[in-house]
Amino acid sequence: MDWCLIADISGFLSTLWMIAAVAAGLGLVIFVHELGHFLAAKGCGVKVEKFYVGFDIPMGPLPASLLKFRLGETEYGVGILPLGGYVKMLGQDDNPRNQAKENERIKVRMDAPDLADGADGPPAAATDAGTAASASGEFVWDPRSYPAKPVWQRMIIISAGVIMNLIFAVVFAAIAYRQGVSYMPCVVGGTAPGDPAWVHGLNAGDKILQIGRHGRPDEQLRFDKDLMIDVTLNGAKHPLDLLVRRAGQRDPEWLSLTPTDRLADFDRPATLGVRPAGTTIVAAVRPETSEPAAGSGYDELQAGDEIVALDGEPLPRDADAGIIFEHELERRLATRMTQPVKLTIRRADQTRDVTLPPTPLRMTGLVMEVGPVLGVRLGSPAEQAGFREGDVLVSLAGEEIGDAVTLAQRLLPLVGQEVEFGVRRPGAPAPLLLRATPVAPNSFQDGFSPGLPVALECLGLAFQLTNVVKQVVADSPAAAAGFRAGDRIVSAAFIRDGRQDGDPIALIRTESWLSRQRRRLGSESEESDRGETDLPNWYYVHSVLNLAPSVNLELTYRRGPDAEQTVSLVPAFSDRFFHPVRQFTTRPLSPVRVAESWSEAWSLGYVETEISVKKVLAVLHRLFTGGISYRSLGGPIMIVRAAGAEASEGVARLLVFLTFLSANLAVLNFLPIPALDGGHMLFLAAEGIRGKPLNERLQVTLTLIGVGCLLSLMVLVFGLDIQRFF
């Protein structure tokens, strides 16, 4: 009980620290921006009336500000609404409808004592900002007001926030790299079957050194912050050049891959189909009580153990990284899915052996129709045998192809032997017979991603699995539930302890409301009776069942024109077929980059800021040109979640995130949109060119339009956040 209490308190304090770190970090970025405006205004002699982080907007019974105090002529505070901040200067108001009242406030008589002294004097106001004089010329702007300052000074004040963000972006990154930043290197851990990286032979252990022909090779290229972002920005229409050093090779080579948009149906960006490398250090052990083999060997395995050998064969340790890559373990497990395996683990300075049983598949008894081949790996047995995209497997060694999810295991005993496959090819009058010789697989696919096809790694072949039932195994859970051949699965929900666990997985996408209206108006065809698209998610459903053995299944299906029906299934463990994945996970590869000196840290900080600014600009360009979807945008909730994820990895990672956020804020704030700093600069530039301010009514109108656009954007990103996370 005492240990549980200590663990609970420790977890609570850790969460509390993370929340505090995120709040402080995000608040610091806003504070720095407003500090730039504040210091520039003070330096130009402008009276600053308020300096707030957060907005002090009345919200019912809640106080407008969480904290406020006055120091000198300025009120400092923290507003109740944490969506930004502001500096209120004399003669300036962010609400354009209040500007007329503000102008009245800053009128002073020409013979006022503060002007008679000549300390500030009105000439600049009279020659640049103009006078607010009556017909007799008695009034001018207060010389300490914002409008009274010449255009160049007001430009300095407006741009100072962005400049401070960029300066502190470098500072944040420099401090982070001096401390040491963990990162995800661009070492290939595996490839998704059918995707470009898999088809073109990118292998586990290969390292990507450069993305695109511009720039130079970088050994510290990051998987998530460089490769993934660049692939997303590149899109699925254009090839992307990669400089790759093959595993075990010295000289790199250039590859040109065109990303795929196969995940567009799942609202995901373009991808090459690469996953990052992992280690053989155990992260978590996950046998569950419903797993027959639970407790046999798994209770001897602990988080932090390093797997150093398999069945007495030492796993090779990479000389450069100093670790054993996860793919070295996967390569050996791929050929042993039906066998117990003996793992040699290192814990502290001791080694011990742990024997783990094979993982039996959980089967529903539904045999789904095989879909078309989606990818043939270059140089593979499948390519040599003449397989093509679009082919459909119909037979293996003269017999029906059977259940596709067990095909990889059924091919293992046939490695090295010529095997005859029956293939139905579009346009061919009869099935073709193709002969291929399977090789020992060097990896396996767990299918734990929406839309992934089934992979036959021993052939270099990937094919789709449909959501239409071809056969129901006798005496199976599916047979007991009343399924028949021809039934079409609509969705699958996972049930844990009698309750739905997560959102259902859709296997059919219904047309959008907009498409329905277009079809009604005759601008779209009536070819689709329901306006639906099948989503290739059955293999994903199968994988979730096997990676989370305590969940059961609730399937919604359609039989011909009949209404949809929903039934519950409790999958049964097979005594013949097994899953290659054992019930533990391993830690990702995450080295730490440390600047050896402050000069190197400042250099890395500058480069990090430059990269962040360029990425924000590239995202905006692709967004406005239709290269990426608006659905990829995120709002405050996404920012807080991302900051929390980085904070959980340490202060240095949070500082690097604040660098990106600062660059983001700087670029977005300087867009030429009225109500933003960039819009104010546009008005000032026009005033400088014309020699007088723009018409006040025009400024108010444009600013209100800008505010309306910003509010609409805020509603959009909030909506996307809510849809994404709730």
433-492 pLDDT, tens per residue? 999 999 999 888 776 677 889 999 999 999 999 999 999 999 999 999 999 999 999 999
Which CB contacts under 8 angstroms, 24+ apart, belong to 207-211?
207/244, 207/245, 207/247, 208/242, 208/243, 208/244, 209/243, 209/244, 209/245, 209/252, 210/242, 210/243, 211/240, 211/241, 211/242, 211/243
Given a cut of 50, is residue 167 above it in pLDDT? yes
pLDDT digits (tens, 9 = 90+) for 75-87: 999 998 888 899 9
Q: In this structure, are residues 21 and 647 in contact, taking their beta carbons and an 8 Å threshold?
A: yes
Which residues are CB-neighbours of 113 under 8 A, at least 6 positions away?
A: none
Percent residues over pLDDT 70 in the chain:
88
The answer to whether residues 371 and 505 belong to one domain is yes
CB 58 within 8 A of CB 91: no
Do 382 and 513 lie in one domain? The reply is: yes
Same domain, 403 and 534: yes
One-letter amino acid identity for 85?
G
Three-state DSSP class for residue 533:
strand
> For position 474, what pLDDT does the model report?
94
Residue 510 counted as domain residue: yes
Check whether residue 517 and residue 461 sit in a common domain: yes
Whether residues 322 and 341 fall in one domain = yes
Are residues 542 and 401 both part of a single domain? yes
Is 90 exceeded by the pLDDT of residue 299?
no
Q: Is residue 689 part of a domain?
A: no
What burial letters (b/e) apply to 410-430, b meaning 16+ CB within 10 Å? ebbeeeeeebebbbbbeeeee
Q: Which helix (H) or strand (E) holds 350?
A: strand 350-356
The reply to whether 342 and 437 lie within a common domain is no
> Is 473 a member of any domain?
yes
Does residue 385 sit within a domain? Answer: yes
CATH number for the domain spanning 480: value is 2.30.42.10
If asked whether residues 556 and 499 sit together in one domain, one would say yes
What does the block give as tokens for 616?
């924000």
Question: By the 8 A CB rule, do 56 and 88 touch?
Answer: no
If one compares 52 and 61, the residue with the highest pLDDT of the two is: 52
| Domain extent at residue 530 | 365-570
Question: Which has more confidence, 137 or 634?
Answer: 634
Domain end: 359, 385, 419, which one? 359
Q: Read off the pLDDT of residues 501-553 as tens digits, 9 standing for 90 and up.
A: 777 777 776 544 344 444 444 444 444 444 566 777 888 888 888 887 778 89
Q: 78-123: per-residue pLDDT in tens?
A: 998 888 899 999 998 877 777 778 888 887 766 555 554 444 444 4
Mean of pLDDT over the chain: 86
Whether residue 663 is contained in a domain is answered as no
Judged against a pLDDT cut of 50, whether residue 586 lies above it is answered with yes
pLDDT score of 113: 58
**Residues 6 or more apart from 480 whose CB is under 8 A from it?**
none
Out of 359, 378, 398, a domain closes at: 359
Task: Note whether residue 225 is domain-resident.
Answer: no
- Of 542, 570, 598, the position where a domain reaches its end is 570
